[in-house]
Structure 1
Amino acid sequence: MNRYAVIGAGPSGLAAARALRKQGIDVEGFEASHDVGGLWDITNPRSSMYESAHLISSRTTTEFAEYPMDSDVDYPSHRVLHDYFRSYAEKFALSELFRFDTRVTRLEPHEGGWNLTAVDEEGEQTRWYSGVILANGTLADPNTPTFTGEFAGEILHTHFYKKAAQLDGKRVLIIGAGNSGCDIAVDAVHHAASVDMSVRRGYYFVPRYLFGRPSDTLNQGRPLPRRLKQAVDSRVLKAFTGDPVRFGFPKPDYRIYESHPIVNTMVLGHLGQGDLRIRADIDRFDGHTVHFRDGSSGEYDLILLATGYSLGYPFVDREHLSWHGASPRLFLNIFPAAFNGLYVMGMVEASGLGWQGRYEQAELLASYLAAVENDPARAESFRTRVTSTPWPDLTGGYRYLALDRMSYYVNKDAYRGAVRAERESLDAA
């Protein structure tokens, strides 16, 4: 029987282990930290979590369908979510599959499979697997841009931000206004001496509640055509949140949903109260002075880089994952066209995809690996289809921004539809 390795015990790694085990596939997992949960475990050294973090998608659109959260909170905190993953792992006996405090350092192709080298407290060991599933996450390697000049204060990526006390009494500049940047800005107004945000483009702000319900629960199961959804939602947002341009943000140079929206309207309230300011893009640093591209400047003690993350699978050579630009080019963000025994879980971002969407990834992979084991002709038919026919359009017609962080972004309805269709085809063959 073939044996497969899963790297990472976060949501995607747990989903992969669960789906493969349901198919009777032999699995062994590796997790560099001491527990399940991935980034949702704030004690994990690679976690990007901070004390005030909560889900930005609602509980019912995010949870695993077969295991609802034991909570009635719409937007649970990271602590609730870590407990959820622990409970999920216990329910389905997944923790016993993983070797914790064990870091994978190298993957090398060998005799039709892969040699996996990992390090634990006993030293380095190498084991052979028929295939390896990479589920080590997409939010662990901070993207740290370079700037002209030298800053005399502290520069810290938000990856290393854990609690608001780090901001006490400081003049803070946050560079970037993604969801984490806006969350931390809200923390900062209660602790910092002053708070500014430097932004280079405009954003769309989505309130957590619309018409008394979590906003992402509206229209569930009835996706509107792209143009209609963009037109309707733009008007609804303008009615509820107003125009962010009046608070100092640039006007977006793209349409709504062509980049990930900001699920935080509290930051707009603080802007309206004068608790923080929007500044232009950075020109250069000069001691404690930051000069902006509009000719203005400000004095700061701490710069927080809310500049996102770089995708990374450092333990395997890029050629094995068909890297194209900022991310691997994979069929349904899972399968390398070479079908070389490497598979990726969780390298997918989409508004509203949730962990159930990632579990559906795992179900498709498990169906394929079960076919490899039990019906090689069916597996070969799948490989032939993938390598000889055009891949499905996963954008849903949206023109996503040509940014590194958007290189593996998909439309949730298009993506889940394509994954389900492939699984039904595999299972019916």
Structure 2
Amino acid sequence: MQSEITKSRSNCLWIQGPVIIGAGPSGLAVAACLKQRGVPSLIIEKESCIGSLWKLKTYDRLQLHLPKKFCELPYIPFPPEYPKYPTKQQFISYLEAYASHFSIKPLLGQEVQQAKFNATTGCWWVRTSEYQFASPWLIIAAGENAEPVIPNIDEISKFTGRILHTNTYKDGAAYRGSKVLVVGCGNSGMEISLDLCNNGAQASIVVRDKLHILPKQVLGKSTFALSMSLLKWFPVTVVDRFLLFCSRLVIGDTNRIGIERPEIGPLQLKNSVGKTPVLDDGAFAKIKSGEIKVVRGIQKFTAKGAEFVDGTVEEFESVILATGYKSNVKSWLREPNFFTQNDGNSEKSLPKSWKGKNRVYSVGFTGQGLLGAAMDAHKVADDIKRQWNSEAWNLQLESKPTFTLQSINYY
């Protein structure tokens, strides 16, 4: 049941149920959870498709970093024939089948310009370039990865070669035989360096800070799944020591090739500052063999390459910025106390919790990936369902002043 919409001549839309911003996995998950509880909703999405980050802005070799059982959306498992770590295209097919199963039909091409709670009407007003939406509930599912982070590196504009962010990188075939510098050593940076290497490019990766690298699997079992099992019985410090022991056994000592580990363990680091460890899928072996070169932080760019902090200078034909993404919610959400820069990273703004005042919610901002988004979706849907069924809530709606959408002072 899609939300009932009332439209006026001035392109104003009254939404009976919640407005959900974002048609990625988080938005689809919460729409499905609401539908299972009998609550209609409407998703608005700025791009021309669902799952746009996966469809439009990811590289071809991308696979889920975690086993599929930890990445399923509510109610619908992955097809049994899918491998343990589904590919990018398999995940996109899963999202499309998920939306079809629940008859979720987002309103596409609607980029949010502003969302603000109107105390007079008791509703959220959401404005895009084409419409105004009014709803008692607002669910933000636009994701932590809405916009690429472009670092301000000294004299980067002097570089005359090709510069691109990972959101436009597809595969390494186009770089065969060329020297490529990858800036950023997270999971994406490592995987793209491996892809470049496998396609005959000379890849160098910038490792500026201390970094945890863990094997993707230990004795055939997912490192993540193993961690989750152990955390049920042991404190995080003990589990961290076990993971580091396994890492030394499986991939070796990272310090020997100049990649130092942080002082605190990988799970503690993730919990404290949100920095995810790299789950190695083969790049570390290429680094040990010298096929992927590790370089220090960049001092500045030159016309033909870069000068590094250790004084060395190298030439490159391309630079790929594997520098991550950030949320753009604070640019359009007029609710200053909900999203806050609470993780110590000025590039990211996150909600204080999954629920804020005036019936605003968030899904998929916990830093726990698809598993966290699925958990958020259930919590949000349960909370809205209680209001939907509440006699007091229905009386409150009936007692609101009658208004026409054309006459509202939206903002």
Structures share fold, TM-score greater than 0.5: yes
Larger radius of gyration: 2
User: In the alignment, is the contact (CA less than 8 A) between 2:216 and 2:279 conserved in 1?
Assistant: yes
- Give the whole-Å Cα distance in 2 for the aligned partners of 1:287 and 1:192: 24
Q: Would you say how many aligned residue pairs link Structure 1 and Structure 2?
A: 362
Give the corresponding residue for 2:397: none
Pair 1:60 & 2:69 matched? yes
Pair 1:298 & 2:314 matched? yes
Amino acid at match of 1:142: P
Deviation at 1:220, TM superposition (A): 4.5
- Give the whole-Å Cα distance in 2 for the aligned partners of 1:144 and 1:372: 42
Deviation at 1:153, TM superposition (A): 1.6
- Give the whole-Å Cα distance in 1 for the aligned partners of 2:211 and 2:351: 29
Give the corresponding residue for 1:341: 359
Which of residues 363, 366, 382 is equivalent to 2:381? 366
- Superposition map of 1:6-405 within 5 A: 6-42=20-56, 48-64=57-73, 66-70=75-79, 71-95=81-105, 98-110=106-118, 111-119=121-129, 124-149=130-155, 150-191=158-199, 193-218=201-226, 220-223=228-231, 224-257=234-267, 258=269, 259-313=275-329, 314-317=331-334, 319=336, 321-324=338-341, 326=346, 327-328=348-349, 330-331=351-352, 333-336=353-356, 339-350=357-368, 354-375=369-390
1:370-390 per-residue CA deviation (whole Å, 9 max, x = no partner) reads 222333779xxxxxxxxxxxx
User: In the alignment, is the contact (CA less than 8 A) between 1:2 and 1:25 conserved in 2?
Assistant: no
Deviation at 1:215, TM superposition (A): 2.8
- Give the whole-Å Cα distance in 2 for the aligned partners of 1:296 and 1:221: 45
Amino acid at match of 1:30: I
What's the TM-score once normalised by structure 2's chain length? 0.82
**Structure 1 SS opposite 2:131:** strand
1:255-297 per-residue CA deviation (whole Å, 9 max, x = no partner) reads 2221311112411111122212101111111211311111212
**Structure 1 SS opposite 2:266:** coil
User: In the alignment, is the contact (CA less than 8 A) between 1:321 and 1:328 conserved in 2?
Assistant: no
User: In the alignment, is the contact (CA less than 8 A) between 2:72 and 2:370 conserved in 1?
Assistant: yes
User: In the alignment, is the contact (CA less than 8 A) between 2:25 and 2:51 conserved in 1?
Assistant: yes
Deviation at 1:311, TM superposition (A): 1.8
Gaps of 5+ in 2: 1-14, 270-274, 394-411
Higher RCO (Cα < 8 Å, 6 or more apart): 2
User: In the alignment, is the contact (CA less than 8 A) between 1:205 and 1:265 conserved in 2?
Assistant: no
Gaps of 5+ in 1: 43-47, 379-429
1:91-136 per-residue CA deviation (whole Å, 9 max, x = no partner) reads 22223xx2123322222322211222224xxxx1212111211111
**Structure 1 SS opposite 2:181:** strand
User: In the alignment, is the contact (CA less than 8 A) between 1:155 and 1:305 conserved in 2?
Assistant: yes
User: In the alignment, is the contact (CA less than 8 A) between 1:114 and 1:128 conserved in 2?
Assistant: yes
- Give the whole-Å Cα distance in 2 for the aligned partners of 1:228 and 1:376: 50
**Structure 2 SS opposite 1:200:** coil
- Give the whole-Å Cα distance in 1 for the aligned partners of 2:33 and 2:161: 48
Identical amino acids, percent of aligned pairs = 25
Q: 1:220 to 1:324 in 2, by over 3 A?
A: closer
Amino acid at match of 2:336: E
User: In the alignment, is the contact (CA less than 8 A) between 2:171 and 2:196 conserved in 1?
Assistant: no
User: In the alignment, is the contact (CA less than 8 A) between 1:188 and 1:195 conserved in 2?
Assistant: yes
Deviation at 1:192, TM superposition (A): 5.2
User: In the alignment, is the contact (CA less than 8 A) between 2:211 and 2:277 conserved in 1?
Assistant: yes
Q: 1:53 to 1:329 in 2, by over 3 A?
A: closer
Deviation at 1:86, TM superposition (A): 1.1
Q: 1:221 to 1:375 in 2, by over 3 A?
A: farther
- Give the whole-Å Cα distance in 2 for the aligned partners of 1:348 and 1:269: 32
- Give the whole-Å Cα distance in 2 for the aligned partners of 1:328 and 1:341: 19
Q: 1:222 to 1:207 in 2, by over 3 A?
A: closer
- Give the whole-Å Cα distance in 1 for the aligned partners of 2:261 and 2:224: 24
- Give the whole-Å Cα distance in 2 for the aligned partners of 1:199 and 1:321: 34
Amino acid at match of 2:190: C
Deviation at 1:363, TM superposition (A): 1.4
- Give the whole-Å Cα distance in 2 for the aligned partners of 1:59 and 1:251: 28
**Structure 1 SS opposite 2:375:** helix
- Give the whole-Å Cα distance in 2 for the aligned partners of 1:318 and 1:85: 30
- Give the whole-Å Cα distance in 2 for the aligned partners of 1:138 and 1:2: 27
Deviation at 1:318, TM superposition (A): 5.7
User: In the alignment, is the contact (CA less than 8 A) between 1:57 and 1:75 conserved in 2?
Assistant: yes
1:284-317 per-residue CA deviation (whole Å, 9 max, x = no partner) reads 1121131111121211111111111122113323
Amino acid at match of 2:236: R
